[in-house]
Amino acid sequence: MMMRPKEVRHFLPLVAGVVDDFVDRLGSKIDPVTQQVSLLRDEIAKWSLESSAMVCFEKRLGCFDGGSGETWAGKMVEANKQIFLLSGLLKFSLPLYKHFGTPKWKEIVRHEDFFYAEAMRLVRETISKIRDAVDKESLEEGQYSFMTYLLSRGELQEKDVFILTLSLFADGLSTTTPAALYNLYCLAANPEAQEKLKSEIREKVKGEVTSETVENLPYLKACVKEAFRLYPVGTEVSRVIQQDLVLSGFHVPAGTHVDLSPSVHFLSEEHFEDAAKFVPERWLRDKSYSTPKANAHPYLLTPFGFGTRMCAGRRFAEQDLYLLLIKVLQKYDLSYPTDEPELGQKYMTLLFPDRPVRVLFSRKHSETNPNAMWLSGRGMWFTYVFGVFALHIFLLSIPFLSIPWAWTLTNITHDIAMFVFLHTVRGVPWMTLTQGKESSMTHWDQIDYGEQFTASKKFITVIPIVLYILTSYYTNYDSFHCFVNFMALLLVLVPKLQSWQQNPKQL
Ligand code: HEM
């Protein structure tokens, strides 16, 4: 049951919002020194889970909110990873697990019980919300469209609705996740193709990404196809032959189980010129890559299978991948460490990257918002403390100022300056960079690209508290000084607490 393109496009704005948040949050996950994201696979998996939840349940699960939603998502991702790893190991072990519960079998059952119980809970919650809304006649048109569509199909029983929704919710985790990693890797390792794709995106994507925009990006689609050719996710497409066939000169009787392994013909020089190279041009209709055997036959590439049993989630997966690549490349330049060998694949029921994918993300120069990262280096923390100290020494050196007043003035000046610059000024007024969300965000909210409770934000919260304690001590806890300094402290703490309360997640 494959969804029609129009039905899949309906979800584009919902999943595009998830990609926006994911790409924003990526900023705070990139190590400023190595430019890499540790556990990139898990980050991408959380995005895939959040995106599927938006389609199935029209609900944000908070898979990258840094709080309980993210902890839950981490457990789901880990359970899914273990299920695929252990299933792969069992497939090639003695089939003892078929007769009694071997340790690996029990382990799989434990992970599956957890994963599917959680997914079923979400399906049940959504069905009961839909029924409530129908009873109260408050269900809006287009709301919960995936599940209302399934529920409205007379031929489907409730258990079918559960199975189809579970599949849509869970399948992307083990398929779209590695496919996204392979695409990022291929573009990072092939700067020329990446540059061509970026110029296509620069030229054709203006403002919001719509389904029409995506349709108009042939090079993007060619890149995704080529990544599937070099790094297919599945190991085989299986069929039981319905009638006698002759395949490559061999007689194959009806009823035989035949596996077609994409890794063989996708990488065959017989079919593809420079088969080991990433050449998206071979999929372009304009035949710009014009060497013999260059423009491959479209039916050679079947990463989603073919025919009536082809992948039911193909269009969702492609839509997710296109959006992810557009939005990542709008913000980052990708590269691959020169000392790192080419990426390989390892079997875990499906084909996953054989090691952590070390893509380097560097912010495009024109997109760099200095407000977001200036505090992320420890050198800046030292400079900040030194600046406050220098202000204090200057005030102490004014002859008529007593020591208590020098402390109080240091504290008040610091807190007022912090209030004005961090909590009142919005956007990046001293720069002409394209300001999207930043234009309405205070400097405080922009720090670490909106991520809350980061080390920099904790540092900048602790500073006025420490300064207040020192000032109270050096003013001998005089009640007037204490009062004035406390007011100054409130001036900078209250907006931070408000911001944490209003934006518990990243913005
Ligand atoms: C990059 C992502 C994906 C790849 C490469 C992929 C690949 C495949 C392949 C090769 C098949 C077997 C097709 C055949 O035998 O002809 C398949 C089947 C299937 N896939 Fe996917 N898939 C992906 C994502 C998804 C997603 C996101 C979903 C859920 C929405 C999904 C749901 C399914 C289902 C339900 C089937 C069984 C279809 C049937 O037997 O009728 N897949 N997929």
Q: What is the pLDDT of residue 287?
A: 63
pLDDT the model gives residue 505: 47
CA pair distance 88, 102, nearest whole angstrom:
15
Please give the pLDDT value at position 87. Answer: 96
CA-309 nearest atom, ligand 1: 41
Low-confidence ranges of the chain (pLDDT < 70): 1-3, 287-296, 364-378, 428-439, 449, 501-507
For 252, other C-beta atoms within 10 Å of its C-beta total 14
Q: How far is the CA of 2 from the centre of ligand 1 (A)?
A: 9
Residue owning the nearest CA to atom 35 of ligand 1: 312
Listed residue (279, 52, 82, 64) closest to 176, CA to CA: 52
CA R_g for the chain = 28
At residue 203, the pLDDT reads: 92
pLDDT in tens, 142-199: 888 888 888 888 888 889 999 999 999 999 999 999 999 999 999 999 999 999 999 9
Residue position matching structure tokens 């890149």 = 223
309 lines ligand 1 (CB under 6 A): yes
Which atom in ligand 1 lies closest to the alpha carbon of residue 167? 29
For ligand 1, the distance from its centroid to the CA atom of residue 172, given in whole angstroms, is 9
CB atoms closer than 10 angstroms to residue 485: 25
Centroid of ligand 1 to alpha carbon of 212 (angstroms): 24
**Alpha-carbon gap, residue 104 to 83, rounded angstroms:** 10
* pTM metric for this prediction: 0.76
446 lines ligand 1 (CB under 6 A): no
**Are residues 295 and 289 in contact, defined by beta-carbon separation less than 8 angstroms?**
yes
Distance 451 CA to ligand 1 centre (A): 34
Nearest Cα residue to atom 7 of ligand 1: 304
Which of 312, 447, 285 is CA-nearest to residue 369?
A: 447
The top-level CATH class assigned to 5-234+303-367 is mainly alpha
- Which residue among 311, 318, 351 is best mutated to probe the pocket of ligand 1, counting the most ligand atoms within 8 A of its Cβ? 311
Query: Positive or negative CA dihedral for 222, 225, 231, 233?
Result: positive
Domain boundaries along the sequence of the chain = 5-234+303-367, 370-502
Q: Are 223 and 200 in contact (CB under 8 A)?
A: no
Ligand 1 pocket check for 55: Cβ under 6 Å: no
Q: Which of 227, 234, 229 is nearest to 310 (CA)?
A: 234
Please give the pLDDT value at position 452: 74
CB-count burial class (<10 Å; 0-12, 13-18, 19+) for 405: middle
C-alpha count within 13 angstroms, C-beta hemisphere, residue 149? 16
Beta pairing partners, 442: 426
